[in-house]
């Protein structure tokens, strides 16, 4: 197709553009708007990700891959468009539990993926490390809020992880008292280190189904989200 043919086809799809603009997109001097990108993908019979040329990593890229404008996605998740746009720009999600579930459903994400996109996985890991090595009950609410999961499920996961971590200390002390040698002590220490390395993954395994953020058929009775 020539650039004129592309522009003509896009106009037929309800997105008129000048052929010179198509040239600018090809040369990389201009970027299409969301609607222009979606129309261009339809005209060229390809998916949006192919035109983007990258594997979607950010919240904005995941939205574009689903051919959703900010306004359309905001409407689907029950959020003000300006607030959602700010969340994308700042990579900082402030949605409540219902909005979070609606978001992951709309973008085809899981809760672990959303936390990773927002750059909060290390923060979750820090809370989990503190929980397994201390009074786990004090961390139920912070973990549930950050991970946007049911507090009961979060508590069950933390209780299990705390017991598993405590078992390492008991085994270590048992070998130490029994004078079983450095090899056994090093083995337990290595297992303990691997357990700590996989804390976040293990947490989601215990939560199951990528986490639960509440049903998406109505707003929650109270807000739970990232502040």
Q: Does pTM top 0.75 for this prediction?
A: no
Q: List the structure tokens of 123.
A: 């923060």
What pLDDT shows up at residue 193?
86
**Is the pLDDT score of 224 beyond 70?**
no
Provide the pLDDT for residue 120.
87
CA 83 remoteness from chain centre: 18
pLDDT per residue over 102-141, tens digit each?
A: 999 999 988 898 888 888 899 999 999 999 999 999 999 9
For 14, list phi and psi in degrees, rounded to 5: 95, 15
How many Cβ atoms sit within 10 Å of the Cβ of residue 60? Answer: 17
């Amino acid at each position: 197709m020539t650039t004129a043919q592309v522009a003509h086809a896009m106009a037929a799809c309800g997105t008129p553009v000048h052929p010179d603009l198509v040239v600018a997109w090809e040369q990389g001097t201009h970027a299409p708007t969301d609607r222009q990108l979606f129309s261009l993908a339809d005209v060229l019979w390809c998916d949006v990700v192919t035109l983007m040329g990258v594997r979607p990593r950010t919240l904005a890229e995941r939205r574009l891959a689903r051919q959703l404008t900010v306004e359309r996605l905001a409407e689907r998740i029950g959020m003000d468009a300006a607030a959602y746009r700010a969340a994308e720009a700042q990579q900082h999600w402030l949605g409540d539990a219902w909005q979070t579930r609606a978001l992951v459903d709309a973008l085809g994400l899981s809760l672990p993926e959303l936390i990773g996109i927002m750059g909060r996985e290390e923060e979750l890991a820090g809370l989990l490390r503190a929980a397994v090595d201390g009074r786990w009950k004090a961390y139920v609410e912070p973990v549930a809020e950050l991970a946007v999961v049911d507090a009961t499920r979060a508590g069950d996961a933390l209780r299990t992880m705390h017991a598993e971590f405590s078992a390492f200390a008991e085994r270590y002390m048992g070998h130490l008292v029994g004078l079983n040698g450095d090899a056994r002590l090093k083995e337990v220490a290595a297992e303990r280190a691997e357990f700590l390395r996989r804390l976040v993954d293990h947490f989601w395994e215990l939560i199951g189904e990528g986490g639960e953020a509440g049903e998406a058929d109505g707003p929650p009775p109270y807000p739970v989200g990232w502040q």
